[in-house]
Structure 1
Amino acid sequence: MDTGTSFTFIEWRRLVADSFTNVEATFPAPDFTATARFQRVGDVELYDMETDPHTVIHSDRGNRTMCKFSLQLKGVATLVQDDRTCEMKPGDFALYTGERPYHLVFKEPQRSLVVYFPRNFLHLRDDQIDRITATPISRHEGLGKVAVPLFEQLARNLNELQGPHAQALVRASLDLLVTVVADHIERIGRDSTDSSLLFRQAVKYIEEHSGDPLLSPSTIARALYVSVRSLHTHFSDQGMTVATYIRSCRLRAIHGDLANPQFREETVQSISARHGLIDASYVSKAFRSEYGESPRDYRSRILS
C-alpha cells in the first residue's frame, strides 16, 4: 500500500481546513505527524488518513448538500453530533453531516477512511439521517458484515480507483451503505413509521416499474389492491408524495446511467426514456433542480 504524503500539524491543519467546510484540526499530540492518501472518484472524495492523537471540530453550519462517513481502521475515535456520542473501534463506521456541528476526538494513534459524498446519494429523508448520525455500525453485526470489508478493500486499493468504471464501483458501494443504514434504522427501532408494510411494498413496486411511462398512483394502488387514498396516506406519513418518489426514483436511475461508461454511446433522451421519462425538456429541468447541473454537463464532467 502507498504510504501517502506526510504532514506536520501545521500542514495537517491547513489540509483539513482546505478539504472540508468550517472544519478545524486542534489539540495535537506533541510531535504530531500524519499521513494521508486522497482519491476523487466522480462526485465522491475518499481520504485514507493515519494520524497521531488530535481533535477535529466542525462548529458551524457547513455544506448541507454533503455527508460523510468514517470507517475506523486502527485505533479508537469518538464522534459527537446531534447530542449523541459514539465510540468507533476498528471495524466500526458512522455517518455524520456537515449541516450541523460535530467533533471527532482521536485520543490515540489511529487510521480511518473518510468518504465525503453528496447528500442525495443517501436516498433518505432528513429525519432518517438525523436519527442515525453518530450511531456506530459494526462489521460484526447485520449487513455491516458485508459493507465494512468492502470499504476496507477500497481503502487498501485507493490508488486503483480511477476512471469511470471505478465511479460505478464506488456508487454501488455507497448504495450498499444506504441499505446498511436503512437496515440499522429498523434494527434499533427508531423509525416505527418505516415499519409500514404497504409503504415498503409500494416503494419496491415503484423501483421495479419506474421504466413504465404510465406508472402512477392509480396503477400502483391497483397492483397492491389498495385505494389511491390509502396509498397517498402512507406516503404522506413518510413526509413525501407518491409522485415525488416516482420522480426521484427515475432521476436517480438516470443519474446512475449517465455516469456509467457502459451507456456512453446512448443519448440522454434514450436513457431517460428507459426510465419512464420521455419529455427531454422536463428531464433537463428536473435533473438540474435535483443535482445542480444539466444531464449533459453532468455526464461530460463525470466521464471526461
Structure 2
Amino acid sequence: MIHTDGVAPAERFEYWRHLVSQTLLPLEVVSESPADFHGEMRSMDFGAVHISKVSCSDIWTHRTMKHIRQSEPELLQVAIPLRGHGAVVQGREHVAMGPSNIVVYNSWNPYSVLTTGDDESTIQGIFAMVPRTMLHLPETMSERCTPWVFSSREGVGALLLGFLGRLVTDADRFQHGEVTRLGVTVLDLLTMLLAGEKGTTPPPDTRQRVLLARIHAFIHRRLADPALSPETIAAAHNISVRALHRLFLTEERTVAAWIRALRLDHCRRDLANPQLEGRPAHAVAARWGLTDAAHFTRAFRTAYGITPQAYRRLHISGRARA
C-alpha cells in the first residue's frame, strides 16, 4: 500500500504525480487543489496483468504523444469506478464513467481522463493494465482507437468487477504459483467482455476458463448455503456434474474439496477476529455452511493442525499480549 499520509502536505501532490508515472504509465496529472491532495494506491502484478485500487482527490490525467514515445508497451487499460464519476476522451469519443460501468481504452493513442468525487468525497476505482497482444481478439478489434463502455452490473462485466475486487483485497494471500494463473483468468474475462460486443467467439479454452470463473464467483456467493454441492452448482450453470468435475481438474482439488477449503479459510479468519470472540466456534462454522460441529472440528484440525477453539485462543490472546 502506498499513500500520501506520510508526506508533507506541500509535497503530496508532486509525490503522487511521480508515483503514478512510475507505477502505471508516463502521464501528466493535474489537480485543481494540490495543497489539499491526498491519495493511496494498492497495486500488484498478476503475471502480465497489473491491477491497482486507487483512492484519491479529484484529478485530471493526460497522456500525450510525448508520453507515448517514452513507453513502448501497448496496453489496454480497464477503469472501473467504485465511487465518484468522470469521463474518458480518446480519439473523437467522449464516454462517461460511473460506478455502474467499465471503460476500456488504450495506451498507444492520446487520451484524457477526468475523475471527480461526489459531494467533495474522494474518488475510488480499480484499474487494470494488460498487453493487447495477450488478448485473443481479431486484429481489427485490438487496434481500436476509441474507448469501450460496458456495464459492471451484469454478465461478464459484473464477473470481471467481482474478480478484480477479490484479487486486490486478497492479494497478499495468494501463493506465488497462483498469481500467474489468476492473471490469465483476468485476460480471459476481458477477452470475453470485448468479444461479446461484436459477437466474436473467443477460443474454446478461454470460454472454459471464463465458465470456471463464473462458477468460482457462484460458489463465493453461495458459500453460506449448506445445500451448496456439485449438483446444485452444475444445475445453476446448465452443465452436467461430470463436466463440472472436468473443469476442476485444473484446480488440483475436487469441487467439494475446493468448497470445503474456502469455507474453512473463512472460518479461520472469523476465529481470529476479536470482534467475533463471543460467537461460539460452531456458530462461526454454521455461518459458512458447515452445520455439523463435530465434522467441522475434524476438518479444521486436518487443515490447520489445531482445533478451532485452540486456534482462536492462540490468535486472540496473542494479539491481546501484543
TM bracket, shorter-chain basis: 0.5 to 0.7
Q: Tell me the equivalent position of 2:172.
A: 159
Paired residues of 2:106 and 2:147 also in contact (CA < 8 A): no
Paired residues of 1:34 and 1:49 also in contact (CA < 8 A): yes
- Give a deviation string over 1:120-164, Cα, whole Å, max 9, x none: 221223421354842221123443233222222223223334512
Say which of 114, 128, 131 aligns to 2:141. 128
Q: Tell me the equivalent position of 1:271.
A: none
SS of the equivalent of 1:143 reads helix
Say which of 97, 116, 123 aligns to 1:107. 116
Say which of 13, 36, 44 aligns to 2:17. 13
Separation of aligned partners in 1, 2:100 and 2:168 = 12
Structure 1, unmatched stretches of 5+, are: 187-193, 195-199, 209-259, 263-304
CA positional deviation for 1:174: 2.0
Say which of 43, 52, 55 aligns to 1:47. 52
Amino acid at match of 2:18: R
Structure 2, unmatched stretches of 5+, are: 5-11, 209-249, 253-322
Q: CA RMSD in A?
A: 2.9
Separation of aligned partners in 2, 1:161 and 1:10 = 33
Say which of 177, 188, 191 aligns to 2:190. 177
SS of the equivalent of 1:63 reads coil
Separation of aligned partners in 2, 1:145 and 1:17 = 29
Q: Percent identity among equivalent residues?
A: 21
Q: Tell me the equivalent position of 1:90.
A: 99
Q: Tell me the equivalent position of 1:116.
A: 129
Amino acid at match of 1:97: N
SS of the equivalent of 1:136 reads strand
CA positional deviation for 1:170: 2.2
Distance 1:158 1:85, change over 3 A: farther
Provide the aligned length of Structure 1 versus Structure 2.
194
Distance 1:28 1:171, change over 3 A: farther
Amino acid at match of 1:27: S
CA positional deviation for 1:87: 1.3
Paired residues of 1:6 and 1:34 also in contact (CA < 8 A): yes
Separation of aligned partners in 2, 1:161 and 1:140 = 26
Separation of aligned partners in 2, 1:176 and 1:88 = 20
SS of the equivalent of 2:148 reads coil
CA positional deviation for 1:177: 1.5
TM-score using structure 2 length: 0.54
Q: Tell me the equivalent position of 1:240.
A: none
Amino acid at match of 2:115: F
TM-score using structure 1 length: 0.57
Paired residues of 1:36 and 1:48 also in contact (CA < 8 A): yes
